[in-house]
Amino acid sequence: MPQSIWMTVLFAFIISVALGPLFIGLLRRRHLGQQIRDDGPAHHLKKAGTPTAGGVLFLLAAAVALLVRGFYTSLLGMALLLTLGNALIGWLDDYAKISRGRSLGLKARNKIAGQALVTAIFTGLLYFSGHYDPVVTVPFSGFAINLGWFYPVFIFIIIMATTNAVNLSDGIDGLAGGTAIITLLAFLYIALESGHADLALFCAALVGGVFGFLIYNLHPARIFMGDVGSLGLGGALAAAAILTKAELSLVIIGGIYVLEALSVILQVISFQLTGRRLLLMAPLHHHLELKGWSEWQVVTALWGLTFIFALAGLLEWLL
């Protein structure tokens, strides 16, 4: 199985790299360019017009790689449902931004409604497939909690938190893609250790696809992943955590996303309560930029931090 996994990574990578120039050219001809927030770092304004919705590229590469492997299970189907369902919401958001020529897409309530529907379908399939398990284990403690009727709500919280946190990290060339590769590799290992070869292949296909995309997304980016990519990746990470029963390990392994989300939450709370900002700009990566760090310095530093978080979260399986 390990050989099949690395072959899946390689195949998805090749597809992503090969289709990259064609996809970028198509987006340029269609004038599907990124709209940049006016309240973001000033030097980001020059990125306006860069092709976006590049998440379609690595999601397609991953899907084709899995199709070629010909290994289908109910867990794999549910993982794809959560990934592609959130990616579809992201695509609608991207399209709304492009068609309106501004950085605001779908209304928050419409996004939440869409994600609630995807979550409901996912949870229903989980229940009727026999894989529904409301018991959640606390990492490194051996302590387990039966959430009972609250478990579907817990699933929704995981999906909402993860997709939005990954989306927040997608603000600098290569940041979201690089951190996603590291976190997906961590869950690939967890999937293998827990006997879920299907979920390991799922993670492997996405790792390969995102790696190929990253070639065109590193600074200066020729393409952005857009919300279709960031929400899709968030959905994939949530699926990997839920289906391997490592829900709370996601908080540790995806620690970089927790930091990014917390930086925004604390910034808002501080400003509303005191009128002062904790950071020069939220999320965290923009604060580091305004402190004088180059994009490459910010990205590599946060990649390194992601690796530390992933290793910390895997200690329970490694020891």
Q: Which two tokens stand for residue 175?
A: 């940041």
Q: Identify the band that residue 285 occupies on the pLDDT scale cut at 50, 70 and 90.
A: very high
Taking the CA atoms of 148, 152, 157 and 158 in sequence, report the sign of the dihedral they define.
positive
Residue 95 φ then ψ, to 5°? -65, -40
Residue 16 contacts residue 208 (beta carbons within 8 Å) = yes
Beta-carbon contacts of 195 under 8 Å, excluding residues fewer than 6 positions away, are: none
Say what the pLDDT of residue 34 is.
64
The overall average pLDDT reported for the chain is 91
Mean pLDDT of 315-319: 84
Residue 176 contacts residue 230 (beta carbons within 8 Å) = yes
Say what the pLDDT of residue 40 is.
55
Chain Cα centroid distance, residue 281: 22
Residue 58 contacts residue 209 (beta carbons within 8 Å) = yes
- For the chain, the domains span 2-318
Q: Is the pLDDT at 1 greater than 60, yes or no? A: no
Say what the pLDDT of residue 37 is.
56
Residue 163 contacts residue 115 (beta carbons within 8 Å) = yes
Say what the pLDDT of residue 71 is.
79
Q: Identify the band that residue 2 occupies on the pLDDT scale cut at 50, 70 and 90.
A: confident
My answer on whether omega of the bond before 2 falls inside 30° of 0, hence cis, is no
Residue with tokens 């290994």: 71
Residue 101 contacts residue 223 (beta carbons within 8 Å) = no
The rounded distance, in Å, linking the Cα atoms of 218 and 293 is: 16
The rounded distance, in Å, linking the Cα atoms of 42 and 36 is: 10
CB atoms within 10 A of CB 260: 27
